[in-house]
Amino acid sequence: MHDIKAIRENPDAFDAALARRGDAPVTAQVLALDEARRAKISAAETAQADQNKASKLVGAAKAKGDEAEFERLRTLVSDKKAEVTAMQAEAKDLDAQLTDMLARIPNLPADDAPDGADEADNVEVNRWGDVPEFDFTAKEHFEIASVAASMDFETAAKTSGARFVMLKGALARVHRALAQFMIDTHVDHNGLTEYMTPVLVRDEAMYGTDKLPKFGDDSYQTTNGWWLIPTSEVTLTYSVAGDVLDEAALPRRMTAHTLCFRSEAGSAGRDTSGMLRQHQFEKVEMVSVTHPDQSDDEQKRMLRCAEDMLERLGVPYRTVILCTGDMGFGARRTFDIEAWLPGQYAYREISSVSTTGDFQARRMNARFKPADGGKPQFVHTLNGSGLAVGRCLIAVLENGQQADGSVKLPEVLAPYLGGKTTLGVDGTLS
């Protein structure tokens, strides 16, 4: 949500910031609706004052025995009451229209977000690891001999339809080990507090984290109104909705491993092979709630947490800062980490780390109380994948593949796999 006062004070700057995203100017429509709303509120207040004044005179007219004046004033009070009720209803409707309009306007990009139209204009800021060189043709994850029999798309399609997968045996254990490794690393090394959250949420939680009203088609809603979370960003971030936190309690750093659900409504025909783009997947999420002065540094910290995860796993990656035309709706600045996938001979996104500033905090009224006094201020919220478990599995499998179809697994997973480090051609661990 945006600060209407800031739009009133500098509409040109607001439209200029939206133009960097490639969006059309909106302040003329916003301010016209705001002016109509304020005018209706003012008129209702004037009518209310007239009603109150007339109400005081009714008794005096009655006491004087002036029946004509009494009836005139009583009719005036009744008319003003109806007028006030009607204008208040109109003001409420205009306020709802303004709120809905503001809720559909994306966040304004940070000054240092590079300008650009699409992903081709993203800027690489870091690269780690040597791209592996094989003396054989690298395969995609689902083609590797040790993987193929345990990554079952046909049975998943029989039970659930397209874009689902069933993992079994050792492969399912490797997937579970990756999630456990991520959570343990975030808790033991990165200082995050682990949560286990619901995967069903109310409208308010989706709205507060900017998933509604604009992106309802991208998520799944149950028949009784709950939403299946697209990521635990929703539950972790919304946990501070309506709160006034002590400044000393900031930053609040959280992590959770959950199932995630996305309809992929706008991705028809994209990444249909393998498990790169699924309707149901698992992710370890990071969320930070911070003081505004700390949020930029916190984003850098979160980015390093995600990058370090790939370094521990030995997966080559590159980091890009997204241009204004490629950023998500709620983001002010986003860094994407792209893991190297030998089977595709390309870097593919495995994590996004974003700061939303006070964009989400305004929507869910999350504030903090300054230590030196003063009125409560909005917190800043940040979120990042730490990491997407399925995509990380793909990266581990493809980078660790061997000529005989086995997969050499990262040493850091050995404690979670009974000390074993190889996925054999027969699909078992050794």
Helices (H) and strands (E) in the chain, counts: 12, 18
φ, ψ (nearest 5 deg) of residue 117: -95, -35
Q: Has 295 been labeled as part of a binding site?
A: no
Q: Name residue 380's beta-bridge partners.
A: 290
What is the helix (H) or strand (E) element at residue 335, kind and residue range? strand 333-341
262 is in an annotated binding site: yes
CA distance 308 to 72: 79
Q: Which two tokens stand for residue 399?
A: 């980078």
352 assigned to a ligand binding site: yes
Q: Is 150 annotated as a binding residue?
A: no
Provide Rg for the chain, Cα atoms. Answer: 28
Complete edge-to-edge strand list for the sheet that includes strand 252-261:
123-128, 317-321, 333-341, 346-355, 380-388, 280-290, 252-261, 193-195
- Annotated binding-site residue? 90: no
411 a known binding residue?
Answer: no
E strands along 35-192, which residues? Answer: 123-128, 151-152, 166-167
Contact 90, 99 (CB under 8 A): no
Q: Is 55 annotated as a binding residue?
A: no
HSE (side-chain half, CA atoms, 13 Å) at 176: 11
231 is in an annotated binding site: yes
- Residue 204 assigned as binding residue: no
How far lies 27's CA from each of 14, 248, 264, in Å?
7, 37, 31
Q: Which residues are annotated as a binding site?
A: 231-233, 262-264, 285, 349-352, 383, 385
Q: Which residues are annotated as a binding site for ATP?
A: 262-264, 349-352
Q: Which residues are annotated as a binding site for L-serine?
A: 231-233, 262, 285, 383, 385
